[in-house]
Structure 1
Amino acid sequence: MAYISLNNDAPGILGLMIYRPETAGPLNELTELLLAGDNTLSRGDRELIAAYVSRLNKCDFCGTIHGVMAARQLPGGASQVEQACTNPHAADVTPKMRALLDIAALVQQSGRAVTQEAVDAARTAGATDPEIHDTVLIAATFCMFNRYVDGLGTFAPPARADYEPMADTLLSLGYSKSIEAIQS
């Protein structure tokens, strides 16, 4: 049960967005842009960054939903996501993705933890400056989302299967329109 009365039973950030639709709109637009907008990083890769940072932050809701979203969009599915979230250096991901996950992990610690060496390593692995930028912004945004979700004590369903219908909605409607579908 959330720390405040949300007047709805929706889990995680969904309950918070239903509670405060005026903040949900801009947050969903940002998420849509970062995770589903035009980008040289695949949608699966960007969802993986969100899942990885959320798992590092121990945010069960965000780690699971974005893990499910990444699994549906990456060739290695749930196994690839689990490997990458557990040990990116042993996972079946590209060297570029490993380097970007390293940067995401540094952002999760602190923005000041990111070093020129980490950025140079990502460039050497093939990451472009816009991809490095977007990785840092995704990681920073999900640190905020994780703290929002967990800071208000929202409910996270325990089973991965509970997230599949949410993933269906997000994949078919996108982040910006999904909250409207959930509310109706």
Structure 2
Amino acid sequence: MAHIDLGVDERSYPGISGPMRYRPETAKPLNDLVNVLLRGEHPLTPGERELIAAYVSGLNECEFCCSSHSAFAAVQLDEGMALVDRVRADLDSAPVSEKLRALLRIAGAVQESGRKVTADLVAAARAEGATDLEIHDTVLIAAAFCMFNRYVDGLGTVPAADPAAYLRTAERIAEFGYSS
């Protein structure tokens, strides 16, 4: 049960959806931000950006965000959940491009502390072809998801009871984005 009364049935509105219904005036800019970061025009695919969100959420042990963004990534990546699971289990051996691996390493550093992002990590990403925009947005996605993870867990929200709920939401997100 959430730490505060969100005014909703938490089983119907798990994770972040309860707090977003509680404060729609903050939900809109948060959804707009995540829509730009994960769905907007970008050299990284929406699936790759969702994978960054899922990876950081997993490192933060945020069950709701990790499960939801893993599903969102899986429906948008050709390799599906198998790839998401491999990245989360062992980034070094996961079958992703070296550029994406370098960006995920940056995201992992941000999850620990922004100060953990070193010139060497950035140089390694650039050496694999990452652009300044990709590096910038990787840092911002990771930082934003640290905030989202703490928002969800800090209010003591519950994850979805039915894991299939994440896939149903993933299909809607893939088609309509976050601001719909």
Shorter-normalised TM range? over 0.9
Q: Which residue of 1 aligns with 2:4?
A: 4
Q: Which residue of 2 aligns with 1:110?
A: 113
Instruction: Give the Cα separation in 2 of the matches to 1:14 and 1:169.
Output: 14
Q: Out of 52, 57, 60, which is 1:54 matched to? A: 57
Higher helix proportion (structure 1 or 2): 1
Instruction: Give the Cα separation in 1 of the matches to 2:27 and 2:54.
Output: 20
Give the alignment's TM-score, normalised by structure 1: 0.94
> Match for 1:166: what amino acid?
T
**What's the RMSD between the two structures over aligned residues?**
0.9
Q: Which residue of 2 aligns with 1:153?
A: 156
Is 2:75–2:174's contact at 8 Å kept on the other side of the alignment?
Answer: no
Give the alignment's TM-score, normalised by structure 2: 0.96
Cα deviation code 1:19-69 (max 9, x no counterpart): 100000000000000000000001000000000000000000000110001
Question: Which deviates the most, 143-152 or 153-162?
Answer: 153-162
Is 2:83–2:95's contact at 8 Å kept on the other side of the alignment?
Answer: yes
Structure 2: state its 5+ residue gaps. Answer: none
Is 2:59–2:108's contact at 8 Å kept on the other side of the alignment?
Answer: yes
Q: Which residue of 2 aligns with 1:162?
A: 165
Q: Which residue of 2 aligns with 1:84?
A: 87
Report the CA distance between 1:169 and its aligned residue: 2.2
State the number of aligned residues: 177
* Secondary structure at 1:175 match in 2: coil
Q: Out of 131, 136, 139, which is 2:139 matched to? A: 136
Task: Mark the CA change 1:101 to 1:68 in structure 2 (over 3 Å): closer, same or farther.
Answer: same
Instruction: Give the Cα separation in 2 of the matches to 1:170 and 1:72.
Output: 10
Instruction: Give the Cα separation in 1 of the matches to 2:125 and 2:146.
Output: 21
* Mapped pair 1:39 → 2:36: no
